[in-house]
A and B are shown apart, each in its own frame.
Chain A
């Protein structure tokens, strides 16, 4: 339907979209702006804030108080690590459910999802005790395991929906061509599902990165990710807007940048089988 959308209509849409987009983005933008102001300027009225001089003092302050690099590395290791492990477990499971579906497949999938509805606070003490006994408190391994388990259902579901879009004939062809199951998954299925796997990975890195309950409860310092870093600024005393902004910016910047760079990939994959 490529008829002339009148120029005015296009302008209206442009203005509306930009306005709404800007409003949605404003909280983040404002945080970034405040992080470059002094504490005194940061609590002034918006116009005064904008005209105040810029400074990176808050970043320096935050940097001197916290081991940002350490938290950052922990976040990366835990979120990426848990995603990769989840993928390794989920790919075969999703393969089986997509290409060898049984009567129970759907129920199984739904059961898996329902494990995500378990409220974390309810099981904290048991998990804490278990972690203590296995020496997993404040270890990256421990947290990675938890993140893996939390995200596994979503990973399986997403992969399952991608795999179902792959014609089973292709897998049969590879079987006729003499591929073993391992080769079938390794050389044919996985590469074909790369876009889906990539967006699954992204979504799960984001979810793991932002997870703020288990990360806070089960780590102290050595394995503490950025959620812990931000927790120490969450209600500090006195004038604190600039420092809080700087810390917030530092905590969300990596994932925001990753998200922006890969948004096409992410958006393409975010359908959960909802688009036929």
Chain B
């Protein structure tokens, strides 16, 4: 199915781990290829977010490997991972509420040593509402706009890959659509995206590929379209019945 192993941006290879003594991931494997949107879905407690945190060095892996462009980044501390070009947008508290929009984006560029102004302008072009509210404290924005700030902040680094943890959680259906549109826009600039989502149906629609995790293990994988079509997946996660 994949065109070439060499091109893989991010690869999780049989990772095992959890918090303290509680093991959550029992051998999860996945990969993200250049330009892809990859979605992780699954029931509550399946280890979706945990798998993502594993990439970011937020939990200790007792087995398996995480590779970025072929380089081993297993158990690398988060700040190092950022330096390697992986940006992560957590599900909650993903912006600095008392900082202005522009300051949030500036913080996103903290590790950059070059001039980030051009990049800032590019992102304002992608997210016009943010340009409008650049001087406003980010905490005063609406939920959808906050997600925009969070993503734009992560994009400031021009990352190799963007990790999104449930970007639509807690948003109204209207905003959800907006966010998925933004995800596509970001992806269109060439940044591959790995995303955990609850709203599986909508997410799979925009995804190149998807993984279904159950109990900390891979259950299904396939292209977004295939998974949407798959009767079993549909029954389990997509609110019953195959799509029309």
Partners in one complex: no
Residues of A whose CB lies within 8 Å of any CB of B are: none
Residues of B whose CB lies within 8 Å of any CB of A are: none
